[in-house]
Structure 1
Amino acid sequence: MKINLKNGFTLVEMAIVLALIGLILGTGLTVLSVQQEQRKIEETNALLSDARDALIGFAIANGRLPCPASSTSNGYEDPIGGGVCTHPYDGFVPAKTLALGGTDRAGYFTDSWKNPIRYAVTTSNSNVFTTVNGMSTSGISSLVPDLQVCSTTTGITGTPPATTCASGPPSTSLASGGVPAVIYSTGANMVGLPGSTGGTGGTGSDEAANPNPNSTTTVDRLFISHAFSSANETGGYFDDQVTWLSQYILFNRMVQAGRLP
């Protein structure tokens, strides 16, 4: 009796195997992409913290906060020496002035998507926060930083540009009393250096409140910070990462260092 054994796969079986391999690879690539994006978010948060710590160190050493860098200052504050800042609300972290590493060839301190990390500083009290010994001369009791951080643009008030978070209830302010400095990344949807067309984000109402290449906002001292949101949610697409320097932490550290009476 002759037994006929079939070896190998039929076309149907091969198609099933290839489909399964494709499904596995597709799932794996999706998971990998999500993991990579999460890692970039975590790395950028660490960079924002580094910049905030560097600002405190600079204030302790110099008795003032640095001015933001401009697109032409190569990573140094503008103007050098502080005083009246050239771009108080729409500038960049002055990485060279702060002696921060991780800058690109143009001197920008960049996030994980290679976007320049942005920095805003208060001009309150006639720019004493960025003037040598200006804060100590004025005294803590008279210092009133006026940058505002809100959780949404909904309900913000003030003749454009807006200056006040919604009073509520509930209040949308994330930093009662105002803050002297805000540091933020424009996120993955804003890829590209200033003046480039590499990114298409930043036009939703919440992201547009934070100065960026696609926003018309440049002199707005009110900033928005909240978790990621999609384009169809209130405030529009939002992937900015925002941190700020608490006035209480800044003043406390400067008092301890003998920079404030």
Structure 2
Amino acid sequence: MYREDGFSLIEMAVVLVILGFVITALILPVTAQREVSSLRQTENQLAIAQKALIGFAQANGRLPCPATLTSRGVEVFEQQASEGGGECHPTAQLLPASTLGIQPVNDQGQAVDGWGTPIFYKVAQSNRGGSALPDFTTRNEMSLVGMASLMPEIRVCASSSDCSDTSYLINNAVAVVFSLGSTGAQVLGGAAPGGADEQANLINDNIFVSHDIRANDSNGSFNHIVTWISPYILYNAMIQAGQLP
């Protein structure tokens, strides 16, 4: 009687397992390369954003306000000054791509990071006199108040659990620009932030956290990439442009 040889179920299972290992070994490096590429693109975008913000201040005598989710990259005010600029809208949290004229943007006109997620932006709203409107977003207000009297109030710390007047990375940033990182799309879609440090950056107050990306930490995972503008870098740039005496 003729008997046709073939693979047994066990042999087929072994082959499938081996194929699974091979495919996984091929996919993981590609995924890692994409993550590195997205990270580098994001860091480059944040650096471009910093330069654009400083250039805007050199040209306009103020920093721009953030954009909202629906303003298509245009800065949004709560109260405008007759001379230009003014008080920023309290719900505006995004980098104003259209106002700054930067790319890339998504189909809603929002500046995006390497993962295609909107880039966030916070600017100081302190007022030291001269007018009732914020010094850093009202045209020529910085010049009117004077560098010695300006007091930007944004603080960036290395941890949300150790952030005070004596423990910080910078205590007088004029602006913060940051990406939500690789998990940003999920967070914007309703998922919980990675932990207390990520949550601190989403409250829309004047306290931010910046440290390396961590999968496991006492304050939860952290995927944000955070950068800021020092007042002294801004002042120097504006002096060079003739916007500050």
Structure 2 length-normalised TM: 0.85
CA distance in 2, matches of 1:38, 1:199: 25
1:133-172 matched pairs, under 5 angstroms: 133-156=140-163, 164=164, 167=166, 171=167
Which of the two has greater strand per residue? 2
Task: Show the counterpart of 1:125.
Answer: 127
Do structure 1's residue 185 and structure 2's residue 170 form an aligned pair?
no
**Residues 180-235 of structure 1: CA deviation (Å, up to 9, x unaligned):** 000001122220696xxx25142621111012xxxxx23x10000111122x5211
Shift of 1:125: 2.2
Correspondence 1:208 to 2:207 = no
**CA–CA separation in structure 1 for the residues paired with 2:225 and 2:149:** 31
SS at match of 1:92: coil
Q: In the alignment, is the contact (CA less than 8 A) between 1:83 and 1:131 conserved in 2?
A: yes
| Local SS of the residue matching 2:127 | helix
Deviations for 1:89-143, whole angstroms, at most 9, x for unmatched residues? Answer: x511011000112112221111122221000000112511000001011111111
Across the two proteins, how many residue pairs are aligned to each other?
230
Equivalent in the alignment of 2:208: 223
State which of 7, 27, 30 in structure 2 corresponds to 1:29. 27
Letter aligned with residue 161 of structure 2: T
Q: Which amino acid aligns with 2:63?
A: L
Cα shift readout 1:36-61 (whole Å, capped 9, x = no counterpart):
11111111111111111100000000
Conserved 8 A contact 2:194-2:222: no
What is the identity, as a one-letter code, of the residue corresponding to 2:236? N
Q: What's the TM-score, normalizing by structure 1?
A: 0.80
Q: Show CA shifts across 1:161-180 (max 9, x none).
A: xxx35x3xxx3x112x4100
In the alignment, the residues of structure 2 paired with residue 125 and residue 103 of structure 1 have an alpha-carbon distance, to the nearest angstrom, of 32
- 5+ residue gaps, structure 1, are 1-7, 157-163, 212-216
Give the root-mean-square deviation of aligned CA atoms: 2.3
Query: Which amino acid letter does the alignment assign opposite residue 49 of structure 2?
Result: A
> Share of identical aligned residues, percent?
40
Q: 1:31 Cα deviation (Å)?
A: 1.4
Task: For structure 2, list consecutive stretches of 5 or more residues without a partner in the other structure.
Answer: 129-133
